[in-house]
């Protein structure tokens, strides 16, 4: 399982390429496959933010 | 021959370090231009409206944004002191930092992708110190590839 | 060949020193700039909405104190983002849609 750790809140200009890595990691996931891997259970109804 | 070999290795190492430092300088120049453009735009707007915008309608730097589809369900847990947050997303999202947002707002005059109009290039050059102007001109066409031994 | 290499390495050394000087100056300028004009260094929700496609997404804004740890992990379901601050509360809010 992938995991990326970043330090945020630094002053403007301390940019971090890791955000790009996170976006690539997240977008490369096949969400339907993930869901089926979870035993086909429909995602439990999470409360909306 | 051995000394030539050592110098060749040294030469290669320096070339790689120079390449890395050129892209670091490029990013710093982009950030300086983007930030100055943002400040200029906000200053002009405040002069037009003759007052600063309502406090709850502005987002000060530094910040990051997470954007996701409206269909995404986000489960959020927050500690009482707001020192800790936990978000669970059931669908994909994107994370961007403030400099990326400013670039997307066009505050870097398109220099980040080497597509900068003559007008924008003039604006961008006016926002940096003299010593950086040749770099900005080069960035208008693509990544920095030279080192200008200008003084100042 | 040796002399040519020697000359080239010395030019590269000079170029690298020039870059170091410019990087230090630029970093200092940017830091001073962001400190001097902190009141004008802001964006508006509409600006953020203009940078995401499609525009009608959920946009969550996170403003955190320095050294806040953000961890993105892939648990069994979906994705998880955790934020941990040691220097103060973290501000998280959603950009209004209108």
Model pLDDT, residue A30: 67
- Mark yes or no for CB contact B59/C61 under 8 Å: yes
ipTM over 0.90: no
Q: If phi over 0 gives left and psi between -120 and 50 gives alpha, with beta otherwise, what is residue B114?
A: left
pLDDT value at A35 more than 90: no
B130, B139 contact by CB (below 8 A) = no
pLDDT value at B152 more than 50: no
Model pLDDT, residue C30: 92
Model pLDDT, residue C71: 93
Model pLDDT, residue A48: 46
Place of tokens 């030539």: B4
Which chains does chain B touch, 3 or more C-beta pairs < 8 A?
A, C
Q: Tell whether C57 lies on the interface with A, counting CB pairs under 8 A.
A: no
Model pLDDT, residue C75: 61
pLDDT value at A40 more than 50: no
Residue B42 has its nearest CB partner, among C40, C58, C75, at C40
- Once rounded to an integer, what is the mean pLDDT over residues A37-42? 50
What pTM value is reported for the model?
Answer: 0.88
Model pLDDT, residue B42: 96
In this prediction, what percent of chain B has a pLDDT beyond 90? 78
Q: Tell whether C26 lies on the interface with B, counting CB pairs under 8 A.
A: yes
Q: From the CA of A9, how many Å to the nearest CA of chain B?
A: 6
- Mark yes or no for CB contact B96/A45 under 8 Å: no
Q: From the CA of C67, how many Å to the nearest CA of chain B?
A: 12
Residue A9 has its nearest CB partner, among B62, B76, B91, at B62
**What integer best gives the mean pLDDT of chain A?**
70
Q: Which tens digits make up the pLDDT trace of B12-24?
A: 999 999 999 999 9
- Mark yes or no for CB contact C64/A1 under 8 Å: no
Q: Tell whether C29 lies on the interface with A, counting CB pairs under 8 A.
A: no
Q: How far apart are CA B139 and CA B83, in angstroms?
A: 41
B57, C93 contact by CB (below 8 A) = no
Q: CA distances (Å), B114 to each of B105, B135, B144, B146, C33, in order? A: 16, 12, 10, 15, 24
Chain A residue numbers with beta carbons less than 8 Å from the beta carbon of B31 are 12-13, 15
- Nearest chain A residue to B32 by CA distance is A13
Q: Which tens digits make up the pLDDT trace of B50-75?
A: 988 888 889 999 999 999 999 898 98
Model pLDDT, residue C17: 95
Model pLDDT, residue A34: 56
Chain B residue numbers with beta carbons less than 8 Å from the beta carbon of A46 are 73-75, 88, 90
Model pLDDT, residue C96: 85
pLDDT value at B150 more than 90: no
In this prediction, what percent of chain A has a pLDDT beyond 70? 53
Chain A residue numbers with beta carbons less than 8 Å from the beta carbon of B95 are 19, 22-23
Interface size A-B, in CB pairs within 8 Å, comes to 55
Give the phi and the psi of residue B64 in degrees, each rounded to 5: -130, 155
- Nearest chain B residue to C80 by CA distance is B88
Split at pLDDT 50, 70, 90, the class of A46 is very low
């Amino acid at each position: 399982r992938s995991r990326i750790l970043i330090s945020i809140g630094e002053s403007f200009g301390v940019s971090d390429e890791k955000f790009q890595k996170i976006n690539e990691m997240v977008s490369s996931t096949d969400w339907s496959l993930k869901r089926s891997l979870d035993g086909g259970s429909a995602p439990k109804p999470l409360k909306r933010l | 021959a051995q000394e030539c070999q050592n110098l060749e290795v040294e030469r290669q190492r320096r070339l790689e370090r120079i390449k890395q430092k050129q892209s670091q300088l490029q990013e710093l120049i982009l950030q300086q231009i983007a930030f100055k453009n943002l400040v200029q735009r906000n200053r002009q707007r405040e002069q037009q409206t003759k007052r600063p915008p309502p406090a709850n309608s502005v987002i000060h730097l530094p910040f990051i944004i997470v954007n996701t589809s409206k269909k995404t369900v986000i489960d959020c847990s927050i500690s009482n002191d707001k020192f800790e947050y936990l978000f669970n997303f059931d669908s994909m999202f994107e994370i961007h930092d403030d400099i990326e947002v400013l670039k997307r707002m066009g505050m870097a005059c398109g220099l980040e992708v080497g597509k900068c109009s003559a007008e924008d290039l003039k604006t961008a050059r006016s926002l940096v110190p003299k010593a950086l102007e040749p770099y900005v001109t080069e960035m208008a066409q693509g990544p920095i590839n030279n080192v200008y031994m200008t003084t100042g | 060949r040796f002399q040519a290499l020697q000359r080239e390495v010395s030019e590269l050394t000079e170029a690298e020193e020039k870059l170091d000087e410019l990087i230090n100056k630029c970093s200092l300028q940017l830091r001073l700039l962001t400190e001097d004009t902190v009141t004008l260094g802001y964006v508006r929700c509409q600006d953020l909405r203009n940078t995401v496609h499609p525009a009608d997404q959920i946009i969550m804004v996170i403003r955190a104190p320095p050294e806040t740890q953000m961890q993105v992990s892939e648990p069994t379901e979906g994705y998880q983002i955790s934020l941990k601050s040691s220097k103060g509360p973290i501000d998280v809010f959603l950009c209004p849609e209108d």
